[in-house]
Amino acid sequence: MSRRDQGLARDTWLLVEQVCAEADAPERREFRTRAMRLGPMLRTSGLAATAAFLAAKASGTGSLPAAYRRMAEALARYVLASVGQQPMDRNGFVLWLGRADPATYRQAGAAAREFGLWVRRAAEALIPDAAPARGDQ
């Protein structure tokens, strides 16, 4: 494993551990769902549209907006750090993506897809699936 993968594995594991420690059960389940869907959303919609969607859904109160907020902020933090940009909030991140040059945007998109893969792995491992397995019913 390369050092980048090791760091990303550690960072996403710590993120999901923090969710497990701080969030109530409904928010943990919602976060797991967002983690499971992030990679496919990035592949089908692209980084800018995904970041805008997450930021828009992060407004409000309750478990679902809180899960979107955590995911949007974590994605922005990781992507910005990976391309050498200063941290900013999720809305600033969406605006930054709209101004990024094509090479930086491609680099950011690749970093986001890596993040999506690792956050899914960590969420699968640390947050139990609420639905019983087919044979467990």
- The tens digit of pLDDT for each residue in 27-65 reads 999 999 999 999 999 999 999 999 999 999 999 999 999
Residue 99's H or E segment, with its range, is: helix 90-99
Backbone angles phi, psi at 123, to 5 degrees: -65, -40
Counting residues of the chain whose pLDDT is more than 90, the rounded percentage is 88
Residues 8-28 pLDDT 10s: 999 999 999 999 999 999 999
Average pLDDT for 71-97 = 96
pLDDT confidence tier of residue 2, bands split at 50, 70 and 90: low
Residues near 4 by beta carbon (within 8 Å), at least 6 away in sequence: 114
Task: Give the Cα separation of 9 and 25 in Å (integer).
Answer: 23
Q: What is the pLDDT of residue 132?
A: 47
Give the mean pLDDT of the chain. 92
Q: pLDDT at position 4, please?
A: 76
Residue type for 62, please? Answer: G
Q: What is the pLDDT of residue 136?
A: 42
Q: What's the pLDDT score for residue 3?
A: 76
Q: Which domains, and CATH codes, for the chain?
A: 3-127 (1.10.520.30)
Q: Would you state the pLDDT for residue 133?
A: 44
pLDDT class for 5, splitting at 50, 70, 90?
confident
